[in-house]
């Protein structure tokens, strides 16, 4: 009995392994150069606010000076300088003792008046303006006034929280 293999009529092809291209090495891809960025300069509109001057403040406590600039991270320049003083002393309690022991406490802000809210805080802590510095009762420009947590701690420790709250109300927009 000769048996013939059964065929289905479907042609069969041997399976060929697929060739994979080698991966490129860790070379940075080529990027087409981009056109230069052109910065647009706009002229201020009529009636637009003038840009604010950057405040630079120096607080003198005893013989030590603490500087602050209007960066926005820790509040106004005065509050940043006050924060630096508190951090340098370690705690609000130690800063409070140092403030009470200091004979001379002065604020130097030569390029613009100290705003009303900062004036409330600084006067409550016993600071006076140095020659060329003006304490103001006016609100500052820009956003609402606020002090950093270190200043708040100091004001609470010194039982001056009512002054702190008043400064917040005066500085609200």
Does residue 34 lie within any of the structural domains? no
Cα–Cα distance for residue pair 19/28, rounded to 1 Å: 25
How much is the pTM? 0.67
Q: How far is CA 96 from CA 92, 109, 163, in A?
A: 6, 23, 15
d(CA 62, CA 11): 100
In whole angstroms, give the CA distance from residue 15 to residue 33: 45
In a domain, 133, yes or no: yes
Question: pLDDT at position 40, please?
Answer: 57
- Rounded percentage of the chain residues whose pLDDT exceeds 70: 65
Which residue segment(s) compose the domain that 79 sits in? 56-171
What's phi and psi for 135, nearest 5 deg? -85, 130
Q: Is residue 35 part of a domain?
A: no
Q: Does 33 reside within a domain?
A: no
What pLDDT, in 10s, does the model give residues 144-155? 787 889 999 999
């Amino acid at each position: 009995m000769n048996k013939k293999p059964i065929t289905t009529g479907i042609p069969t092809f041997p399976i060929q392994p697929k060739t994979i291209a080698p991966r490129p090495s860790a070379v940075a891809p080529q990027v087409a150069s981009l056109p230069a960025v052109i910065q647009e300069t706009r002229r201020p509109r009529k009636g637009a606010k003038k840009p604010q001057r950057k405040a630079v403040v120096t607080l003198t406590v005893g013989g030590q000076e603490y500087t602050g600039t209007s960066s926005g991270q820790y509040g106004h320049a005065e509050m940043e300088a006050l924060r630096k003083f508190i951090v340098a002393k370690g705690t609000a309690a130690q800063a409070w003792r140092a403030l009470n022991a200091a004979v001379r406490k002065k604020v130097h802000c030569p390029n613009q008046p100290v705003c009303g809210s900062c004036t409330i805080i600084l006067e409550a802590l016993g600071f006076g303006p140095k020659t060329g510095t003006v304490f103001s009762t006016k609100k500052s420009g820009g956003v609402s006034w606020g002090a950093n947590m270190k200043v708040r701690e100091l004001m609470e420790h010194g039982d001056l929280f009512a002054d702190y709250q008043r400064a917040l109300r005066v500085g609200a927009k």
